[in-house]
Amino acid sequence: MNEESFRNWLSRVEQEGGIKEVRTPSGLPVELMYGPWSVTGNYSEKLGLPGEYPFTRGIYPTGYRGKLWTMRQYAGFATAEESNRRYRYLLSQGQTGLSVAFDLPTQIGYDSDHPLALGEVGRVGVAIDTLADMETLLAGIPLDRISLSMTINATASILLAMVLAVARKQGVPWNKLSGTVQNDILKEYIARGTYRFPPRPSLRLVTDLMAFCQQHVPKWNTISISGYHIREAGATAVQEVAFTLANAREYVRRAQARGLAVDDFAPRLSFFFAAHNNFLEEVAKFRAARRLWARTMKEEFGAQDPRSWLLRFHTQTAGSTLTAQQPDNNVVRVTIQAMAAVCGGTQSLHTNAKDEALALPTAESALLALRTQQIIAYESGLAEVVDPLGGAYVVEHWTDRMEQEAEAYIQRIEGMGGALAAIEQGFMQREIQEAAYRTQKAIEAGEQVVVGVNRFQDAEPTTCPVFRLDEAVQKAQVERLQQVRRQRDEVAVKQALAQLAEAAAGEENLMLPIVQAVEVYASVGEIAGTLARVFGEHREGGWA
């Protein structure tokens, strides 16, 4: 069948019964059927081979046959001791990497006894105040064999410094450590709000960490540029790709301005995306992002090392799609989303638990989420073929369209002066708010179906066991912090903080002074507070 035959057939179908207009969640039109005419340009050149530029089909030649994606379940709650038990349990059940969630006070740089921390200690992640907490959190976990990912941004330098200090105590050389620190502050101003310092000094901390790790912790991924939180705030799939890669460009330029050669740091860049329910659009999104980034690094930034062209990414299934109504339905949603991530070629994956719209996951629901990944990996057959949907006309068409739409957004941002300038003008924030509003209106009008919410509701509310955080957690954490303060060398702490303030007022790399402060048990709040007195604090928007 050629395009003319298709159009004639389509015209007959429309005359007989009409065809409802359908669009993807990003607003891209959906044809009733796709064929060879749907793929334009040089098909072979755009598609390529797995492990070869432009990496549309994946960054490794053998896909998951060589190595499965890392099953990295995001976890952390209450105290370091309780989180450590959860991590060791997940590792015993076959999880292959750790992903640490921190509570809001830790993320922003407040100690657990700070007035703003009231009611938030240990609630959405683990509370870490001092090196003593990090020692407990990582007790019994071999840092030279387990990859550690940390979702931390404003205080990324401090938390990584704690990991380095623990590694030193365990006798693990820093060059043996592997893992990722999110360290993506720009998306905090766009979508999430867990910032402490103004954007420009925050970017200094980002590049200080990148430069330090390049020299001392070479296996560490120094930044995970995150589209996940942008998507969770209401962005479309196109916006997720565009804004994430626009932020990535800003980080590359900042690193280059620090004197770092692109091929020295680019191989350690990583990315973090969401996986939503529209299966085909999500697969196309991952493929388009990979191709767009490869072209950007090779053609615009002049990277010569093929490793610098690779878009390596972690995926998390979409928390914003989970429903409190009929929570068992979330198991199906998560499975679809995880399969999209796998078909799109993710390097690591977190699958949400079914009860996360209600509370932190129970141990049982967290295990079911992990088992979901394992069933996909070992029973579905998807891991046996590289890019299993590659060549499908619809996927290739949407990959092209996604790339074109994202590139158009990126060029608008470049015209404003880059990501930081666009953020300061509120451009990305407005675009996300408008997209979120359109989605909510569609759900409320019943145009976008959410099973169990606006269609197929139950007469009686569904109940399921939920995790309840013990209200005594904050009291115990504060007592632990106070005990550390009583036992540490206060003179050494004051001296380390004074040296940090002096370094912050100058131009030297701040990582080593932060490590030194951590090692004498200065707290997260004390270190962040010292930096805030030098840098100032960013007040817009609260602490989300």
Q: Give the pLDDT confidence of 501-537 residue by residue, as tens digits.
A: 999 999 999 999 999 999 999 999 999 999 999 999 9
| 344 and 273 Cβ atoms separated by less than 8 Å | no
Tell whether the model's pLDDT for residue 463 goes beyond 60.
Answer: yes
pLDDT of residue 44: 83
Mean pLDDT, residues 22-49: 90
Question: What's the token pair of residue 277?
Answer: 């329910």
Cβ contacts of residue 507 below 8 Å, gap of 6+? Answer: none
Q: Give the pLDDT confidence of 244-266 residue by residue, as tens digits.
A: 999 999 999 999 999 999 999 99
> pTM score, two decimals?
0.93
Tell whether the model's pLDDT for residue 543 goes beyond 60.
Answer: no
Q: Give the pLDDT confidence of 180-197 residue by residue, as tens digits.
A: 999 999 999 999 999 999
**Residue showing tokens 């700070």:** 114
Mean pLDDT, residues 194-213: 96
**Residue showing tokens 């009291």:** 475
Residue type, 90: L
Q: Give the pLDDT confidence of 160-179 residue by residue, as tens digits.
A: 999 999 999 999 999 999 99
Which stretches within 258-278 are classed as H helix? 262-265
Task: State how far the Cα of 516 lies from the Cα of 269, in Å rounded to an integer.
Answer: 26
Considering only residues 489 and 1, tell me which one the structure prediction assigns the higher pLDDT: 489
pLDDT of residue 61: 97
Q: Rounded to 5 degrees, what angle do the CA atoms 203, 209, 210 make?
A: 90
Mean pLDDT, residues 54-82: 89
Helix axes 427-444, 237-257, angle to 10 degrees: 160
Domain ranges of the chain: 43-444
Task: Give yes or no for a cis peptide into 54 (omega within 30° of 0).
Answer: yes
What's the full length of the chain, in residues?
544
Q: Rounded to 5 degrees, what angle do the CA atoms 76, 77, 81 make?
A: 90
239 closest CA partner among 285, 278, 293: 285
Task: State how far the Cα of 241 lies from the Cα of 273, in Å rounded to an integer.
Answer: 8
CB atoms within 10 A of CB 280: 18
Q: Among residues of the chain, what percentage have pLDDT more than 70?
A: 98
| 265 and 220 Cβ atoms separated by less than 8 Å | no
Tell whether the model's pLDDT for residue 542 goes beyond 50.
Answer: no
Task: State how far the Cα of 19 lies from the Cα of 181, in Å rounded to an integer.
Answer: 48
Mean pLDDT, residues 119-139: 94
CB atoms within 10 A of CB 66: 10
pLDDT of residue 457: 93
Q: Give the pLDDT confidence of 296-351 residue by residue, as tens digits.
A: 999 999 999 999 999 999 999 999 999 999 999 999 999 999 999 999 999 999 99
Mean pLDDT, residues 383-392: 96
| 467 and 355 Cβ atoms separated by less than 8 Å | yes
CA atoms within 13 A on the CB side of 124: 15
Query: What's the distance, CA 512 to chain centroid?
Result: 26
The separation between the first and the last C-alpha atoms of the chain, rounded to the nearest angstrom, is 54
- Across the chain, what does the average pLDDT equal? 94
In this prediction, residue 41 has a pLDDT band, given cuts at 50, 70 and 90, of confident
- Burial letters 315-333, b for 16+ CB under 10 A, else e: bbbbbebbbbbbbebbbeb
149 closest CA partner among 252, 203, 223: 223
Question: What's the token pair of residue 182?
Answer: 């999110």
pLDDT of residue 467: 67
List beta partners, residue 160. none
Task: State how far the Cα of 109 lies from the Cα of 131, in Å rounded to an integer.
Answer: 14
CA dihedral 204, 210, 212, 217 (to 10 degrees): 160
Characterise 326 by phi-psi region: left (phi > 0), alpha (psi -120 to 50), beta (else): left
* Coil vs helix vs strand at 470: coil
Residue type, 83: S
pLDDT of residue 86: 85
- Fold adopted by 43-444: TIM Barrel (3.20.20)
| 121 and 112 Cβ atoms separated by less than 8 Å | yes
Q: Rounded to 5 degrees, what angle do the CA atoms 179, 196, 508 make?
A: 70
pLDDT of residue 97: 80
CB atoms within 10 A of CB 78: 25
469 closest CA partner among 73, 83, 72, 93: 83
Query: What's the distance, CA 140 to chain centroid?
Result: 26
Query: What's the distance, CA 127 to chain centroid?
Result: 20
pLDDT of residue 175: 96
E strand map for 465-531:
none
pLDDT of residue 469: 67
pLDDT of residue 15: 86
Tell whether the model's pLDDT for residue 541 goes beyond 70.
Answer: no
* CA-based torsion, 81, 86, 91, 96: positive or negative: negative
pLDDT of residue 399: 97
pLDDT of residue 178: 94
